[in-house]
A = this chain, B = another copy of it.
Amino acid sequence: MMTIVSRLAEIVTQVRKQRPLVHQITNYVTVNDCANIVLAYGGAPVMADDIEEVQEMVGHASALVLNIGTLNSRTIAAMLLAGKTANERGIPVVLDPVGVGATLLRTKTAREIMSQVKLAVIRGNASEIAVLAGEEAITRGVDAGDVQGGTLALSRALATTAQCVVAITGAQDIITDGRSTLLCDNGHPLMAKVTGTGCMVSALVGAAVGVTDDYLLATAAGLVSMGLAGEYAARASGLGNLGSFRAHIIDSIGKFTHVDLQNGAKIYAQG
C-alpha cells in the first residue's frame, strides 16, 4: 500500500508528465502569478473570460478554476457558462471564493456558482469557508453546533452539503470530502504577506485535479506543494524580503521533485 505522501508525489509527477491545460477565470490582481505557477508546476495555463469563447476554451482544458477576486457582471456570466460546460464534459471545477462575505455580490455569486455548477473542490481561508458553510447551514438546517464547532466541523459540513472536497488553508491546512480528512502542516507565515498565495494554491489544485479523479489527494498535492514552496522561499529570500519571496515561490515550484515532496511533506489523516 502506498503512503499518502507517495501518492501525492505521484500526482505531482503526473502533472509534470501530462501537462494539463488549466483554464482559469480569475482576478486581474494575481493572474500573472496564477499563470506562472501552473507553468512552473508543469501544467499549461490559459486565461480566457469572454462569454463568447469560454465554452470552447474549457473544452480543451483538463480543469477549470473559478476565482471571484475581482468580479463583474461580464465575468460572472462567463464563469457560470464555463462551469456548466465543464460539468457537461466531465472537467473538474475548482472554486476559489475570494472575499466571500465581504460583499453581497461575492456571496451571491459564490452561491450561484455552487448551485449551478457541480464543483470538485472549494479552496478558501477559514473565514471564506465559514461564510459558505454558515450560509449552507442556515439554508439547509444543519445543526448550528456544527457550524460553530470550529473550522474542522465547518469544512466537513460544507463538503457534505456541497458534495465536493473542501480545503481551508492557514497555519494548518484542512482537506476534507466530508468523510476523510487530511491535515497539512507545511507552509510559512510569510505567505500571508504576499498577495495571491491563496489564488496560486487554487491554481495548483486545478493542475492536480486535471490528472486524477481522486480530488481529495489532488487537493492535498496542491496544498503540500505550495506549503513546501513557501518554506523554501522563506529560506531562500531571507526573512522579510517579500518581493524576493514571491519570486522564490515560483522558483521552488519549478524545480522541486517528488523526492523533495516525500522528504518535506507534513501531512496526515485526521482522527
Write out the residue numbers on chain B whose beta carbons fall within 8 Å of the beta carbon of A72: 49-50, 74
* Interchain CB contact under 8 A, A49 and B32: no
Q: Which of A21-57 contact B (CB under 8 A)?
A: 27-33, 35-36, 39-40, 45-50, 52-53, 56-57
Write out the residue numbers on chain B whose beta carbons fall within 8 Å of the beta carbon of A40: 193, 242-243
This chain's copy number in the assembly: 3
CB of A240 within 8 Å of the partner chain = yes
Write out the residue numbers on chain B whose beta carbons fall within 8 Å of the beta carbon of A102: 46, 48, 56-57, 60
The A interface, classified by DSSP as helix, strand, loop or mixed, is helix
* Interchain CB contact under 8 A, A195 and B243: no
Cross-interface CB contact of A242 among B27, B39, B45, cutoff 8 Å: B39
* Interchain CB contact under 8 A, B33 and A29: no
Residues of A within 8 A of B (CB): 27-33, 35-36, 39-40, 45-50, 52-53, 56-57, 60, 69-74, 99, 102-106, 193-196, 237, 240-244, 246-251, 253-255
